[in-house]
Structure 1
Amino acid sequence: MTDVKQVAHRYIELWNERAPNRRREMLAANWTNDARYVDPLMSGDGHDGVEALISGVQQKFPDFKFTLIGEPNGFGQHIRFSWGLGPEGADSPIKGTDFAVLSQDGRIKSITGFLDQVPQGA
């Protein structure tokens, strides 16, 4: 049985990891080689594509961190969780909800992201 909380926490840790080498290790351990990420603003395929997206977000928002909002939930190989992106200790100005599809071995195969709150100009 998949631990939805663990999958969501590892996902958030990946987006917060600043060391590119460590991000690549995390992707290799927790995402399938052909994984895909897509949201209304960006998409990436495979470990290289996802890593490039994370790097870009970190460059655009260098002082922001991702946090989980609420409790992740799911069934079978589907997980849903919400997150915030903002400065530590403050309400996140950017919020979203992601839907993950996992492979048979519990790694992330795809993420479809929805942006629930994005300030103008972000």
Structure 2
Amino acid sequence: MYLINVDGSNQTQITQPPSSSEDVAPAWSPDGSKITVARCFNSNGFGCYTTSHLWGVNADGSNPTKLTDTLASTHAWSPDGTKIIFGSVDDSLEPRDLFVMNPDGSGLTNITNTDGTRERSPSWQALPLTLPNP
């Protein structure tokens, strides 16, 4: 993954996955100091989000750190930058529970813990719901 100025100058590689992997779904921390990515292993272009772990790196590319041992899918930073939420997948690679953790990968907490329910695309944004009048 690279950071590049809008005019195409200053290409800086910030992640260096192994050759059989790719980094996708980058998310910036709210203060801009860190970037998290889903590192897909054995990538074949399909199912990438279900065969990945989350990694964090400083915005300059330093200190790459594996954040999850759990298979992870999409993720998002909390608005205050103190937590990361992500969707996990089970052994059959189906979406499963939502987890929250600290930005360093510690404090992993399952916040849904449901059986047979597909939970995906977590976000810290409120979702408005409008119901019709009866």
TM-score in terms of structure 2 length: 0.34
Rg: which structure is higher? Answer: 2
Structure 1 or 2: more helix by fraction: 1
Q: Which has the higher contact order (CA 8 A, sep 6+)?
A: 1
